[in-house]
Copies of this chain bind each other. A is one copy, B any other.
Amino acid sequence: MRNEVYQYGCPVEATLDVIGGKWKGVILYKLLEQPRRFSELKRELPTITQRMLTLQLRELEEDGIVHREIYKEIPPRVEYSLTDFGKTLKPILLAMLTWGDQYTNQIITRKSAQATTSASIAESARR
């Protein structure tokens, strides 16, 4: 997805290439509210690894979505914020937020049902 000839079949594809990373949605959502320090993000996303947080932030930075401000202090402080370009994503993020809010439960229910179904299928196949 990342290292290829950058030609998209449709605009939606391009958009998803930018915000579609595993953690990017949540990160952007957090940064939408306000800038955050690295450690803040880490704390608010308990299940992300440090490595992944760094990588995803770097990609967003390379795509011009987030800005990385380094304060030369000891101990070091780094603050991430949305660039003006990044802020243009706001309508999309809000739309996803609204949708998610309304339908997350439905999705979870459905996926759990699938999980148990596949589990029982796998089980019966084992007999």
Contact = CB atoms under 8 A, between A and B. Distances in A.
A25 B13 contact: yes
Contact of A12 (B10, B16, B25): B25
Contacts of A12: 25-26, 28-29, 93, 96-97, 100
Interface residues of A, number: 53
Interface in A39-92: 45, 47, 62-64, 85, 88-89, 91-92
How many copies of the polypeptide does the oligomer hold?
Answer: 2
A95 B91 contact: yes
A112 B22 contact: no
A95 B89 CA distance: 9
A57 to B, nearest CB: 15
B16 A25 contact: yes
A104 B1 CA distance: 15
Interface of A: 1, 3, 6-20, 22, 24-26, 28-30, 45, 47, 62-64, 85, 88-89, 91-93, 95-104, 106-108, 110-112, 114-115
